[in-house]
Amino acid sequence: MKVFKDSETGMQIINEIDKLKTVLMDYRKTGKRIGLVPTMGYFHEGHLSLIDAIRGKVDIVVVSLFVNPTQFGPAEDLDRYPRDFKRDERLARERGADIIFYPGVKEMYPEPFFTYVVTDQLSEVLCGKSRPVHFRGVTTIVAKLFNIVQPDVAVFGRKDAQQLIIIQRMVNDLNFPVEVIVAPIVREPDGLAMSSRNVYLSEDERKQAPIIYAALQKAFETVQNGETNAEKIKQLIRQKIESAELARIEYIELIAERDLQPVDRVEPGSFVAVAVLFGKTRLIDNLAFFN
Ligand code: AMP
């Protein structure tokens, strides 16, 4: 059983489910509230902001770090997904995490493994169209983490809006006793939403990628000036993104948060979601018009 304790801050690195459960049970017995930050690692400021967002609501912050194979399709980037545990460990410790849960694949998916959690319909639209097994993998691993950690609070980034809405639905539909909180999108100074996958971008692609947020901002301005027509808003975003030579649009949708279905007009709870390919790198972003 591997448990390393950092002498200065007491941050623990735990690889085994049983060990994590034992440690957390002891905290729970003394009335401590537990918070969970699920991640796939390769931390950037977006990830670290989640630690800040949950810190004041709980006593113990558990950051899980697991590149979850079931949420990658066969032709996707599981093998080359960026990883740097040493750096992640340092950043999480500096940011005040109490525990990093860093299990191996066999620990999370002992064979045989047959059971998945599926959120119907919501997992089939937007990113689900090009990534048919993705959200099934996400809901399954998050459900497993909820059962292992039994957090009082869990935090997810608004960056992955469809993921967030699916998890909120799963928590409601399956009565998970956890409060889900949402952290805003953290962006690079030029507007590009931070993502572990941004490292895949070539120099030229990286230069053009901020066009996505520029297009969303332009749409936001026209909505503030009174435009409500979904087609016009989407067209505006399309034109702007297409002005970047290397951008290939996968989708631009104005959708309702309640069911992720397209709406004809901007309404409270609607937001624009986009997926854009730069070479093989798929970037997603979104912007809500009302809070
Ligand atoms: P990932 O490691 O990509 O699975 O992301 C782990 C968590 O970090 C998810 O809840 C993401 O929504 C969140 N996240 C990723 N990028 C950002 C960002 N730029 N701003 C805010 N949250 C983010």
Per-block mean pLDDT, blocks of 10 residues, the chain (291 long): 51 98 98 98 98 98 98 96 98 98 98 97 98 98 99 98 98 98 98 97 98 98 96 98 98 97 96 98 94 57
Q: Is 44 a catalytic residue?
A: no
Are residues 270 and 263 in contact, defined by beta-carbon separation less than 8 angstroms? Answer: yes
Q: What is the pLDDT of residue 10?
A: 81
Q: What is the pLDDT of residue 247?
A: 98
Ligand 1 pocket, mutate which of 36, 39, 72 (most atoms under 8 A from CB): 39
CB atoms within 10 A of CB 154: 26
Atom of ligand 1 nearest to the CA of 187: 19
Distance in Å, CA 226 to ligand 1 centroid: 32
Name the catalytic one among 47, 95, 136, 169: 47
Q: What is the pLDDT of residue 1?
A: 46
Atom of ligand 1 nearest to the CA of 186: 20
Are residues 282 and 197 in contact, defined by beta-carbon separation less than 8 angstroms? Answer: yes
C-alpha neighbours within 13 Å on the C-beta side of residue 232: 10
Per domain, the residue ranges of the chain are 3-183, 196-286
Distance in Å, CA 159 to ligand 1 centroid: 6
Are residues 256 and 270 in contact, defined by beta-carbon separation less than 8 angstroms? Answer: yes
Distance CA 276, CA 14 (A): 36
Ligand 1 pocket, mutate which of 159, 178, 216 (most atoms under 8 A from CB): 159
Distance CA 18, CA 3 (A): 12
Atom of ligand 1 nearest to the CA of 185: 20
Are residues 185 and 158 in contact, defined by beta-carbon separation less than 8 angstroms? Answer: yes
Q: Please give the model's pTM, rounded to 2 decimal places.
A: 0.96
Ligand 1 pocket, mutate which of 42, 50, 54 (most atoms under 8 A from CB): 50
Atom of ligand 1 nearest to the CA of 47: 8
Give Cα 137 to chain centroid, integer Å: 13
CATH topology of domain 196-286: Pantoate--beta-alanine Ligase; Chain: A,domain 2 (3.30.1300)
Distance CA 148, CA 25 (A): 11
Are residues 271 and 257 in contact, defined by beta-carbon separation less than 8 angstroms? Answer: yes
Distance in Å, CA 225 to ligand 1 centroid: 31
What residues flank ligand 1, with Cβ below 6 Å? Answer: 39-40, 46-47, 49-50, 156-157, 159-160, 183, 185-186, 193-196
Instruction: Output DSSP code: residue 72.
Output: S
Distance in Å, CA 74 to ligand 1 centroid: 22
Q: What is the pLDDT of residue 129?
A: 98
Q: Please, which residues bridge with residue 247 across strands?
A: 278
Nearest in space to 98 (alpha carbons), one of 2, 6, 1: 6
Are residues 35 and 146 in contact, defined by beta-carbon separation less than 8 angstroms? Answer: no
CA-CA distances (angstroms) from residue 18 to 167, 218, 221, 238? 25, 50, 51, 49
Q: What is the pLDDT of residue 7?
A: 47
* Structure token digits, residue 104: 């191996």
Query: Does CATH number 3.40.50.970 belong to domain 3-183?
Result: no
Q: What's the chain's Rg over C-alpha atoms?
A: 19
Are residues 64 and 101 in contact, defined by beta-carbon separation less than 8 angstroms? Answer: yes
Are residues 188 and 194 in contact, defined by beta-carbon separation less than 8 angstroms? Answer: yes
